[in-house]
Amino acid sequence: MLGFEAIIAHNGFAMAALGISIVFSGLAVLSFAISRLYKALVLWDNRHETVKRIRNTLTSSRVRGPRIIVERSDEDQEETVRLYHMLADTLEKPFALPAFLELAVNRGLCHPYSTVNDLIKQGYIQPDGKGFYCWKC
């Protein structure tokens, strides 16, 4: 027996159709489960942070520097440069870049690492050749 006869005799079409469906369904279900897993974990993470934030607001007594909330955008670039210049002025010249970054993080500035990188590339922060940096040396 050959050809379609053989396939029909052995129930081939049904097995192939069912097999493809099972494989497809299995991977589709797995794919769906993975996409939900991520969202479930995000939800779980956010729940902790919300509780922590409420607790911190009620019990925190740590003295902090003034929190500056600035959203980075092209229009506000001058403002960003001015803020970081202000921070640099509070440090000894020349300053250690890690210390400068720590200061920016403590002040609550957004994306301090990439901002400092941009300032270096634009020449606002310059290396002194000895491992330290200064503002437009």
Using CB under 8 A, list all residues that contact other proteins.
1-4, 6-7, 10, 12-13, 15-20, 22-35, 37-38, 41, 96-99, 101, 111, 113-114, 116-117, 120-121, 127, 130-133
Nearer residue to other proteins within complex by CB, 21 or 50: 21
Nearer residue to other proteins within complex by CB, 54 or 137: 137
CB of 93 to other proteins, least distance (A): 13
The one-letter amino acid at 127: P
Backbone angles phi, psi at 125, to 5 degrees: -110, 125
| Alpha-carbon distances of 76 from 35, 73, 80, 96, 108, rounded to whole Å | 36, 5, 6, 26, 16
Nearer residue to other proteins within complex by CB, 47 or 54: 47
CB of 23 to other proteins, least distance (A): 5
Residue reference for tokens 């003034």: 66
Nearer residue to other proteins within complex by CB, 27 or 54: 27
| Alpha-carbon distances of 105 from 17, 84, 86, 137, rounded to whole Å | 58, 11, 14, 23
Three-state secondary structure along 93-129?
A: CCECHHHHHHHHHHCCCCCHHHHHHHHHHCCCEEECC
CB of 64 to other proteins, least distance (A): 20
CB of 68 to other proteins, least distance (A): 18
